[in-house]
Amino acid sequence: MMISGFPLRIKRFFLSRNTVIALMGLVLLFVLVGALVPQSFSTPDQKFHGWKAAHPWLAPVAEALGLHQLYGTPWFVATLALALVSLSLSFVEQFQTAYRRTFGPVARPAGGGLRTDMSEEGIVRVLRLYGYLLASRDGLLRFVKHPWGYWGNSLLHLGIIVTIAAGLFVALTYKRASITLNEGQVHSPEAPWASEEKGLLAGKFVLPGAVRLDRVEAEFWEDGKVRMITSELSFGDGNERERGYSVSVSSKASHKGVAVYQGVEFGDTFYVDFIGPDGRTNSFWIQIKNPQGLRKAIAVENFTLPWVQGRLDAAYHIDAELKSMQSTNPRFFMRFKKFDEIVGPVNMTIGESARLGDYEVRLVKVVKWSSLVFVDMKGMPAVFLGFFIIVSGGFVSYFTPPREVIAEATSGGHFLYWKAARFKEFYAGEYGDITRALEVRDA
């Protein structure tokens, strides 16, 4: 279909090499700025504020231009959109070119051919040795090596288009949330998440059913570092049979379109009773990250409880006897701070009690906890398809550029014309070998 007038000018604008280079340069500039200026969504608060303090003249400018949320700014989105238009038109153009070169009529070359006295059969036989196959016989004989190479650029650009388009779809519609659960704890669909992020067009992330963490199992290396974490879960809503899943790091599970990932954080949850002087018992539980060795402990510091005036610190050893990282008998430590006074630390194993100031504290039970990440992300197959097309197109384009030999019959022989779609000088050696094998002489 011929286009003319304004649409044609638009097409020419987007296909012009200046536009292409300008758009590439702009995208590169945006991404470079995004790498140099901390992004608010991915930079810890402390680091973020530290950067602002270290760049007092740049920080206000960055704030005003929205550089800390660069990938959501209209400028970036508009640039990406324009780049997509250019890529799409470029793909169509390259597709048409590739089709023409593969299936179109063979044009007689302008000149510069070399003459050989070889017969057609001889030429076919020799060229086959060099990977050139007879592609068409339409007055002229056309031999092509790596004919698929004509499609490389269009595939590469198509792959980029598919990846960007699918990636945008994913970015707008994805839902991702994380929670930490104790063994036996149920997270109902309406319960709030520990953290949640979602695309602009995504609604609230609601699980297809309640999820219960049944069991957490960790494997350790000899030095106490984590080797693997596995959680066993059950999904259900009470009206249907529960479905059990097992998730490990790098091994997810899927339930009704929601992917579940094992988080890298886990540890033990300590259920503690505080018995006051009046005999009243208050209970609480605290999650503490798993220590990275038998003699190591990670503390939770300066937390408060409503019935205690002051602050508390808690930590634990994974094994009260300091023998095994797989122990189910941890030693729990706690101390109490009030102004300058520090009481403790006291320590106890399961069922034991200790005196902490005015309180008798008792470690009632210990269960494992684990972090879990839930993802509802549609469009990933298209993203992976885009990846595959990019790799295929790039490989075909750069590793198998097509070369052609055109043979024109003449009295007592043939005129031969050789050309390479790209990197002609790189294949000069091949050209020399072929001409020698075909016993050519100047026309």
Partner 1 sequence: MGNGYYAIYVGLHWVAVFLYVVATILNVDGFVFNHKRVEKISYAFGVAGLLVHGPAIVYAWAVVGHGPYLTAHEALTSFAWATLSLFLLFIRMYPRLKPASIIVFPSTFLMIALSLFYSPAMYELPPTFRSIWLVFHITFYKITLATNIVALACSVFYVLEKRITAAWFQRLPDPQTADLFAYRFAGFGFIFWAIAMISGSIWAYQSWGRFWGWDPVETWSLVTWLAFGLYLHLRRFFGWKGERAAWLYIGVFAMSLVAMFYTTHLIGSLHTEFFLER
Position among 51, 148, 245, 395 found at the interface with partner 1 (CB under 8 A): 395
36-65 footprint of partner 1 as x/- string (CB under 8 A): ---x-xx-x--x------------------
Position among 364, 380, 382, 437 found at the interface with partner 1 (CB under 8 A): 380
Q: Which of residues 135 and 258 has its CB atom nearest to partner 1 in the complex?
A: 258
Nearest distance, CB of residue 426 and partner 1, angstroms: 6
Nearest distance, CB of residue 380 and partner 1, angstroms: 7
Residues 150-189 that bind partner 1 (CB under 8 A): 167, 170, 176
231-270 footprint of partner 1 as x/- string (CB under 8 A): -----------------xxx-x------x-x--x------
213-232 footprint of partner 1 as x/- string (CB under 8 A): --------x-x-xxxxx---
User: Is 11 a binder of partner 1 (CB under 8 A)?
Assistant: no
Nearest distance, CB of residue 388 and partner 1, angstroms: 9
Q: Which of residues 166 and 312 has its CB atom nearest to partner 1 in the complex?
A: 166
Q: Which of residues 41 and 303 has its CB atom nearest to partner 1 in the complex?
A: 41
Residues 345-364 that bind partner 1 (CB under 8 A): none
Nearest distance, CB of residue 189 and partner 1, angstroms: 19
Position among 84, 347, 394, 435 found at the interface with partner 1 (CB under 8 A): 394
Taking the CB of residue 358, how many other CB atoms lie within 10 A of it? 14
User: Is 81 a binder of partner 1 (CB under 8 A)?
Assistant: no
